[in-house]
Structure 1
């Protein structure tokens, strides 16, 4: 039953409710989130944990006039439901459906797109200062998860915000002791110490906001004495914020009046809210990692152990290779920016705990940290999603490539990623990597080739990257060997006539199907850099037309590399470059998205026939 929830089509409806109705509303909203996600798949634990916080924020603040910026955006399903999208939840993360993250084009209540982490304070500060500049009386609120606070960008923003004492800015730290993987680092230990003083802190800040001045002065003197005894000095106040908390993020009787009091305060405010990931669903509370981003499941039964898949995923291929190479070479160390499970490093951590480093959500640091390890003769392997390596581009160029340091980059989720959409798609790595001097760039076409490429990258005495897609490969078995492939050499997969298709990585197999229909030659190029120019010249000499195929952007990508090589070699042959279009590709089933982009076997064949009348 969703009696109360069905009456809410906007936060204005929520604000017309009595305080006594908010708790039963929270129960309905939590159940609706659980039922919705169980039918579509998506992020669950984080959203179950933000139900009361979402209600309180929309109840107290005049949204959308007051701006809410959620960070990371995968905690916004309750927000979407309360802002007019309840009846669209069945389409969540599906083709032509609503996004799993805040999206400005989707709703006026989604004030900022936040699918990557640690951006909210910067964006909210911009909004707060814009309001001051324009003479508008409105609030900007950043709701940031504790994992997102590990990134330097969050502290850069706080450092900037703390000097503006006349803005309406609130930062809400949603402290659930869990980002995606288990929490790491000194900040987590610091927050745990703050928790030990929660009774003092709560009393102290109620005094700040509601007590008359004589009693408030007494409270201030008590504060100076008690701070040294009970609570460490809060670094948030050193940044210029008024720190309030911690308070229970599931207690609406605490949340609502605290937010109402804060709303009347000027200057940067920092509210520390403690929530439980998976709150209200015992299975998710017990295992928030398992229920972080589940597929479809029966809520009454929970997630059942999946049958062993017929094919290995590329992530599993990497995880197995990492353990095997670490056993063979004591110099190997593995690094992840808070994606232990996603990058397939759980077993590596178990087997080699002293050579495993989770640096938190800090991609820039992960790359320069790897550079420092490489300077001392170790061989770091950075496991990072293609889309997240974008965040460390300067470090990649300045700290690794410029010094030609021996760092291996394992780029998971290359190409389209499906339900997570444009924010998480790895469409640009081929273009942004191949232009960097000293880099070697490889694209795997199957599981065994991926394993061999990882060994090749590892043995190369400089920076090298292997990109591979999300999900399972073609079903090619892998062994336990650590064989390499010849540097910069492609291979012919099919010999045909007239047309030569030069395919890179994940699209080798659909390109091969197209080549069979066209009786064309198919080359698995394997290397984007160094490009196999000799193979290119041979194919150009023996064929009338050339085609390149890649699951990456065509502007500056592998096809561009071929065109540049042809121009330099003076090769004058027609060239068709197929790849992802010059637009952001939305969320949906990966196979459907590739077909829409003309990159399935039928689409590749159709484009070649249209261009060359084949």
Structure 2
């Protein structure tokens, strides 16, 4: 059987090891070929080919529930469940999602783009199964990086306590997005090298059972001896002490070994943890050599492994931020950098190498990163805590209780603020203004370009209390960079273009969009006032009052949810001040915007030059008609 013939995972039943190995090779070739065009999570998926084949051969999806943590390693699963023909549209607008998606297939039983959720979801499904008195299996596949997340550890503890029949497959590839850190990761490292324990246990059992008549009894009484062996030969029995039957570590690329252990796991009552060692990027040299860079790859040349990127042009915000950290370190000696496993994704690697004593990657632990930053601030440090907007949601309680309430000097560098493109709805940064703006003591800012972004970072370190500095994914505008950091007065806006009748209040990249709209409107004799609303909180109240007094109408434009966003803040201000104005808001409606490129996502949300022109024209001309009728 060939890969192209498989449209349903049941077709894998009964296939020999040789046949599965052949299909594994075909899967890798397919992924390397397709992702060279579309880009995507190549290295994680190359690492789980054999594991996914064996899971689908030995279990009956969707009756048996396969739950992929994070989900960026589910491409092989999608291929085996009838979606190979859609891979040309991977992560493209209206195309195949890069993560599990329930509307795509009944085999996708859980959707996730964030890590550490699979165990809690699996526990819920196992409890529901038992309440219905059904007999299906529930299997969570989680990486060693995701296992460091607090939510995963909470679930791990609960599963072990409840003793439900549930299989946890620990896909240990020693690499998440950034190198894994922490005691648990180190413990797994010791388990990987503890083959002598596995050998000693098996040899002891085999030897005792061969003794005539009393062998079985001796084997049972030898359990205490085996326990002693565990403590002698393995540094910590973490999982078994939590209540799991621990199997492994096994070679995740050895199909026969996977089959043997998976069959054993199916028979065991209670929770099982199957520890599988895989190699991220397996089968493609460049991805094996640098799995970090190939975690989420852009299109590339297959032969050389060279990423296909535009040459020249404006710098990426990732690089702008990395350079800003280095420059800030020279002028603010108290500054330290904290990140929850985003050192590479946010361009912090060079800072980490040059200032290792001032850099702290805490692993996938957003709550810990947030509160630890607060602890640093109490002792006079100036922490910059760098988190993707979508992941900052996970530290919300800590922001409220530990940072804002105590008014601590923590700067949150919020990466990926706004639409993110191909990763889609699980990764968009369009909610952070809403969940930060209402917090006492919190300030929020976003620059119109990369130079202002740098100056806002510097300004945030000079301000009292917590400050969130937002910045988008992608490239800047290529503007000149100030030789020295400039302090921006807190709560002040910038008039980018003088105009009349209507003021466009724009945030971040929307300033450029507003300027393009103004250029088009000028050809019609309309000249809106363009304002760079770089401080979202506090608002520039004096400017708002002045413009309202001059009779301006207002159009707010933000790449963020309308509910509780910047436009809402402006509305609230005018309402509280009892100032009657005409105001329209542009932003993301009450819906999730799916994957595609950023321009397509803005189009879907109505954040385009054409829409701005339409609203400005309608608002100005409507008042003109009223004047004429009067």
Q: What's the TM-score once normalised by structure 1's chain length? A: 0.96
Segments of 4+ moved more than 6 angstroms? 205-209
The 8 Å contact of residues 177 and 345 in structure 2, kept in 1 or not, is answered as no
Match of 1:402 in 2: 405
Could you tell me which of 204, 218, 227 is aligned with 2:230? 227
Task: Tell me how far 1:543 sits from its aligned partner.
Answer: 3.2
Question: Is it true that 1:589 corresponds to 2:597 in the alignment?
Answer: yes
Query: Structure 1 residues 208 and 413, CA, compared in 2 at 3 Å: closer, same or farther?
Result: farther
Match of 1:5 in 2: 3
2: CA distance between counterparts of 1:544 and 1:374? 42
Question: Is it true that 1:498 corresponds to 2:501 in the alignment?
Answer: yes
Task: Tell me how far 1:228 sits from its aligned partner.
Answer: 2.6
Task: Tell me how far 1:33 sits from its aligned partner.
Answer: 1.3
The 8 Å contact of residues 335 and 384 in structure 2, kept in 1 or not, is answered as yes
Alignment of 1:48-87 (within 5 A): 48-87=46-85
Match of 1:201 in 2: 198
Match of 2:546 in 1: 538
Match of 2:438 in 1: 435
Match of 2:359 in 1: 356
Match of 1:152 in 2: 150
The 8 Å contact of residues 299 and 307 in structure 2, kept in 1 or not, is answered as no
Query: Structure 1 residues 196 and 5, CA, compared in 2 at 3 Å: closer, same or farther?
Result: same
Query: Structure 1 residues 57 and 244, CA, compared in 2 at 3 Å: closer, same or farther?
Result: same
Match of 2:141 in 1: 143
Alignment of 1:412-427 (within 5 A): 412-427=415-430
Does 508-517 or 225-234 show the bigger shift? 225-234
Task: Tell me how far 1:329 sits from its aligned partner.
Answer: 2.1
Query: Structure 1 residues 541 and 229, CA, compared in 2 at 3 Å: closer, same or farther?
Result: same
Aligned-partner SS, 2:72 = helix
2: CA distance between counterparts of 1:409 and 1:519? 36
Match of 2:557 in 1: 549
The 8 Å contact of residues 121 and 158 in structure 1, kept in 2 or not, is answered as yes
Task: Tell me how far 1:528 sits from its aligned partner.
Answer: 0.8
Aligned-partner SS, 1:505 = coil
1: CA distance between counterparts of 2:564 and 2:261? 52
The 8 Å contact of residues 417 and 426 in structure 1, kept in 2 or not, is answered as yes
Q: Structure 1, residues 35-66: CA drift from partner, whole Å, max 9, x if none?
A: 11111000111110000000011111111100
Could you tell me which of 178, 183, 193 is aligned with 1:181? 178
Match of 2:492 in 1: 489
Match of 2:368 in 1: 365
Match of 1:476 in 2: 479
Task: Tell me how far 1:221 sits from its aligned partner.
Answer: 4.8
Q: What's the TM-score once normalised by structure 2's chain length? A: 0.94
Task: Tell me how far 1:202 sits from its aligned partner.
Answer: 6.4
2: CA distance between counterparts of 1:142 and 1:6? 27
1: CA distance between counterparts of 2:201 and 2:570? 66
Q: Structure 1, residues 253-301: CA drift from partner, whole Å, max 9, x if none?
A: 1001210111111111101000001111122111111211111112112
Task: Tell me how far 1:70 sits from its aligned partner.
Answer: 0.7
Match of 1:605 in 2: 613
2: CA distance between counterparts of 1:286 and 1:553? 40
Aligned-partner SS, 1:482 = coil
Match of 1:510 in 2: 513
Query: Structure 1 residues 206 and 316, CA, compared in 2 at 3 Å: closer, same or farther?
Result: farther
Does 274-283 or 214-223 show the bigger shift? 214-223
2: CA distance between counterparts of 1:206 and 1:330? 59
Aligned-partner SS, 2:161 = coil
Task: Tell me how far 1:207 sits from its aligned partner.
Answer: 9.3
Match of 1:320 in 2: 323
Alignment of 1:59-138 (within 5 A): 59-138=57-136
Query: Structure 1 residues 22 and 462, CA, compared in 2 at 3 Å: closer, same or farther?
Result: same
Query: Structure 1 residues 223 and 94, CA, compared in 2 at 3 Å: closer, same or farther?
Result: same
Task: Tell me how far 1:215 sits from its aligned partner.
Answer: 7.5
1: CA distance between counterparts of 2:281 and 2:545? 58
Aligned-partner SS, 2:111 = coil
Match of 1:572 in 2: 580
Query: Structure 1 residues 389 and 294, CA, compared in 2 at 3 Å: closer, same or farther?
Result: same
Match of 1:239 in 2: 242
Q: Structure 1, residues 286-337: CA drift from partner, whole Å, max 9, x if none?
A: 1111211111112112125856532012222211111111112221110111
Match of 2:385 in 1: 382
Task: Tell me how far 1:205 sits from its aligned partner.
Answer: 7.3
Task: Tell me how far 1:480 sits from its aligned partner.
Answer: 3.5
1: CA distance between counterparts of 2:203 and 2:583? 70
Could you tell me which of 283, 286, 292 is aligned with 1:283? 286
Match of 1:251 in 2: 254
The 8 Å contact of residues 598 and 607 in structure 1, kept in 2 or not, is answered as no
Task: Tell me how far 1:492 sits from its aligned partner.
Answer: 1.0
Aligned-partner SS, 1:75 = coil
Query: Structure 1 residues 162 and 514, CA, compared in 2 at 3 Å: closer, same or farther?
Result: same
1: CA distance between counterparts of 2:90 and 2:251? 29
Task: Tell me how far 1:169 sits from its aligned partner.
Answer: 0.4
Aligned-partner SS, 1:523 = strand
Match of 1:334 in 2: 337
1: CA distance between counterparts of 2:30 and 2:389? 33
Tell me how many residue pairs correspond in the alignment: 610
Give structure 2 stretches of 5+ with no counterpart. 210-214, 623-630
Aligned-partner SS, 1:372 = helix
Larger radius of gyration: 2
1: CA distance between counterparts of 2:15 and 2:614? 58
The 8 Å contact of residues 202 and 246 in structure 1, kept in 2 or not, is answered as no
Query: Structure 1 residues 115 and 453, CA, compared in 2 at 3 Å: closer, same or farther?
Result: same
2: CA distance between counterparts of 1:288 and 1:365? 26
